């Protein structure tokens, strides 16, 4: 059995970093990672063939572009991109999000490239 972890203060964790499009792991949940990220601008079109992708907006506004229409999210709203669906996150203003993904999922999915980053642990 694992030890209970301390509570995670999301606002405190978000205040500890400023880099954009860099996922920060703040907790583990079974075989999943709970991650925070700050976004601004447009990411790349990509898919995750093996997993759905969970986005919860904490602050700001996030548009998830899909080939058949956009999904626009504000604070407190979430959206799950189904596995295999091509998407492109866009944030016109700085936006803070929470992601829930299986451990090891890369932010750029099948595309790779210079924006690919593994989640950093934010202790």
Comparing 6 with 27, the larger pLDDT belongs to 27
Torsion of CA 109, 113, 118, 119, to 10 degrees: -80
Average pLDDT of span 37-58: 95
Distance CA 56, CA 6 (A): 22
Distance CA 38, CA 62 (A): 11
- Give the 3-state secondary structure of residue 11: helix
The mean predicted confidence, pLDDT, of the chain is 90
Comparing 30 with 104, the larger pLDDT belongs to 30
Q: Say which CATH number the domain at 55 has.
A: 2.60.120.10
Predicted model pTM: 0.90
- Which residue in 120, 113, 119, 102 sits closest to 43, CA to CA? 113
Burial class (CB in 10 A: 0-12, 13-18, 19+), 67: exposed
The reply to whether 111 falls in a domain is no
- Quick: pLDDT tens for 11-23: 999 999 999 999 9
The reply to whether 116 falls in a domain is no
- Quick: pLDDT tens for 49-65: 999 999 999 999 999 99
Report how many domains make up the chain: 1
- Predicted confidence at residue 90, as pLDDT, reads 98
- Give the 3-state secondary structure of residue 75: coil
The reply to whether 30 falls in a domain is yes
DSSP H helical ranges for the chain: 10-15
Expressed as residue numbers, the domain containing 59 is 10-103
The reply to whether 110 falls in a domain is no
- Residue 98 pairs in a beta bridge with 36, 56
Helix (H) or strand (E) holding 119: none
- Predicted confidence at residue 4, as pLDDT, reads 62
């Amino acid at each position: 059995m694992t030890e209970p972890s301390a509570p995670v203060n999301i606002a405190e964790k978000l205040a500890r970093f400023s880099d954009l499009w860099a996922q920060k792991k703040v907790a583990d949940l079974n075989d999943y990672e709970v991650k925070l990220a700050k976004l601004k601008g447009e990411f790349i079109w990509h898919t995750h063939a093996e997993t759905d992708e969970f986005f919860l907006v904490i602050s700001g506004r996030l548009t998830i572009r899909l080939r058949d229409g956009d999904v626009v999210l504000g604070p407190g709203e979430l959206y799950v991109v189904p596995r295999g669906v091509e998407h492109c996150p866009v944030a016109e203003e700085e936006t803070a999000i929470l992601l829930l993904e299986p451990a090891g999922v890369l932010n750029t999915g099948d595309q790779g490239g210079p924006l690919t980053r593994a989640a950093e642990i934010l202790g």
